[in-house]
Structure 1
Amino acid sequence: MLAFGVGHRGWSLAGVGAAVAATQLSVGWVNDWLDADRDRATGRADKPIPAGAVSRRTVGIAGLVATLLIPVLGAPFGVAAACTITLVGVFALLYDWPLKATALSVVPYLVAFGSLPAFVVVALPGHPAPPLWLVAAGALLGGGAHFANVLPDLADDAATGIRGLPHRLGAAWSQAAAAGLLLAATFVLVFGPAGPPSWAGLAAAAVAVVVLPLGWYAARHARGRPVAVFRAVMVVALLDVLLLIFTGRVV
């Protein structure tokens, strides 16, 4: 959607989608390969390896193939674009190992999510430089997603020795961090581009201000895995992407 919004069409649109998909498949499959024993120990039946749906070896090979494809799929867009999407893949894998269990666990999210929209812009004909506000908004979205994504699994992670930054801060501070980073991303997207903010942008900011506290409130009163904050973050993230597309002021 973002690639279409900034002007990619035809093979270029498909190529950008394939390159980004390779990063997602790489980080997801390698993560499941690395965490297979942890997932078994915590009874994660929703994961395909401990559920017996696929072998660990198959997932590991698939992750390796997806990783090697990242620079290959980025190459048709030029050296700068290929390096940018490769940077995304490298930092995503650094999260899988070894940074997930350290106080630096948020760093791969900041770098990778900031670089993703930069790749989409650099891959355009003429290779324009991405605006700094766009990179900053992507990084803030990534940081917020990290804190929200970990929230439902804090107890399981702690039981298996994972001590990333959210685990060190605790659930309450991680919820606050997720909401604060996402709100900051929204305001960067609304007020970062040149010119006055659009009515759509102001409306998106208003929705974010309402949705994130509602997600926090629901998580505080939920039974079982607290996924409400994560869902609120995803709503705001979708609003931010739509805001980027329909304001048409990225490049």
Structure 2
Amino acid sequence: MGTPEQSTAGGPAASWAGRLGGLAGSCHPGPVVAVTALMTALAATAGQSAVGGVLAGAAVLTGQLSVGWCNDAFDARRDIATGRRGKPVVDGTVGVKQVWVAAYAALALCVPLSLACGLWAGAVHLAGVAAAWAYDLHLKATAWSWAPYAVGFAALPAFVALGLPGHPWPTWWVVTAGALLGVGAHLGDALPDIRRDLATGVRGWPHRLGPNGARLLLPVPLVAASAVLVLGPTGPPGKWGAAALTVAGLVALAGAVLGRRRERAAFAAAVTVAVVDTALLLLRGAGIA
């Protein structure tokens, strides 16, 4: 198998279209689109202007792109050595150097776009992006692998709040919920690949827990985030809040039970709870600052 750096003259990476497709595939497009769309929607529900919302969305987009490309570029050597298919840098669709260039270019754009939303807002967002880069470059294989996720996800709603007129500080509950969602996202991202990662020497926090431990713990931070989003804001949660919290708890419990035999059931349950949390976050958007 040829290395990604060799894919320049022939094969799927020979055309610009192929390279662009490879770059699109190596940025982790699913999370990039989901996080960008969620934060853009939160900016709208929180009361940011149209211009502010566009700037916030562009900042989040470039930040997420830089993190995704950094992740694939840094992991390329290990992925190639283990023959991991389905990644553009492994399949030869795009070269590692090209992915690094894209990562740094996106990061360079992220800086002014973030600061255009306000000094404190930009600083908080860039701190979250820096935490994600630290995960990609080192912390992924340590017991502290959860920390960048917690910091990065907490920074996102804080960034949106600080970008509002008057640059108000975010409420404690939206930052806490963001951090909990980040920890849950880390467990969910790692769960399908724990055994394969262990074979290549990656020993992050979920890997130290093991597949069963990570599966059982996965719903805990997500349900905790549901509780914070329902009970944290001022005023009674209302019937819809209690219903959402009940649904999140029951789905999480079902996932833990069914996941003993079918790991995908645990993952599907976690995704469902995360969707509930996302809806709660958007419904609570007007009170994040």
Which category describes the TM-score, using the shorter chain as reference length? over 0.9
SS of 1:50's equivalent in the other structure is helix
Alpha carbons of 1:17 and 1:231: their partners in 2 closer, same or farther (altered >3 Å)? Answer: farther
Q: CA deviation at 1:11?
A: 1.5
Quickly say closer, same or farther: Cα 1:228–1:14, change in 2 above 3 A.
farther
Residue number in structure 2 paired with 1:121: 161
Counterpart amino acid of 1:115? A
Residue 112 of structure 1 pairs with residue 112 of structure 2 = no
Instruction: Say if 1:149 and 1:230, in contact at 8 Å, map to a contact too.
Output: no
Question: 3-state SS of the aligned residue for 1:77?
Answer: coil
| Percent sequence identity over aligned pairs | 44
**Residue 102 (str. 1) matches residue 102 (str. 2):** no
1:233 aligned partner: 270
1:70 and 1:89 in contact (8 A); partners too: no
2:128–2:155 CA contact under 8 A, matched in 1: yes
Q: Which runs of 5+ in 1 are unaligned?
A: none
Gaps of 5+ in 2: 1-40
Aligned to 1:241, what secondary structure does the other structure show? Answer: helix
Task: Tell me which residue corresponds to 1:61.
Answer: 101
SS of the counterpart of 2:259?
helix
Partner of 1:24: 64
1:242 maps to 2:279: yes
Is 1:148 the counterpart of 2:184? The answer is no
Q: TM-score, normalised by structure 1?
A: 0.93
Q: Deviations along 1:175-195, whole A, 9 cap, x unmatched?
A: 222211111111000000001
Q: How far does residue 200 in structure 1 lie from its aligned partner after superposition? A: 2.1
CA contact (8 A) 1:200 1:243 kept: no
One-letter amino acid of the counterpart of residue 250, structure 1: I
- Find the aligned partners of 1:37 and 1:230 in 2 and give their Cα distance: 28
Q: Distance in 2 between matches of 1:233 and 1:62?
A: 32
Q: Cα deviations across residues 24-56 of structure 1 (Å, max 9, x unaligned)?
A: 111110000011122223333221111222111
Task: Confirm or deny: 8 A CA contact 2:230 2:237 kept in the other structure.
Answer: yes
Question: CA offset at residue 212 of structure 1?
Answer: 1.9
TM normalised by structure 2 equals 0.82
Query: What letter is aligned with 2:194?
Result: L
**Structure-to-structure mapping, 1:121-140, within 5 angstroms:** 121-140=161-180
Is the 2:195–2:211 Cα contact (8 Å) retained in structure 1? no
**Counterpart check, 1:210 vs 2:247:** no
Task: Give the distance between the partners of 1:200 and 1:47, measured in 2 at CA.
Answer: 41
- AA aligned to 2:142 is T
**What is the 5 A alignment of 1:29-48?**
29-48=69-88
- Pick aligned residue for 1:13 from 46, 49, 53: 53
Q: Aligned Cα RMSD in Å?
A: 1.5
Q: Does structure 2 conserve the Cα–Cα contact (< 8 Å) formed by 1:70 and 1:85? A: no
58-67 or 231-240, larger mean C-alpha shift: 231-240
Counterpart amino acid of 2:223? L
| Structure 1 residue 218, shift from structure 2 partner | 4.0
Greater displacement, 136-145 / 36-45:
36-45
2:261 to 221, 226, 229: 221
User: Alignment partner of 1:214: what SS?
Assistant: helix
Give the C-alpha shift of residue 174 in structure 1: 1.3
Total equivalences in the alignment: 248
- Among 194, 217, 233, the alignment partner of 1:193 is 233
Q: Which piece of structure 1 moves more, 188-197 or 167-176?
A: 167-176
Find the residue that maps to 1:220 and give its secondary structure. coil
Tell me if the contact between 2:222 and 2:277 (Cα under 8 Å) persists in the aligned partners: no
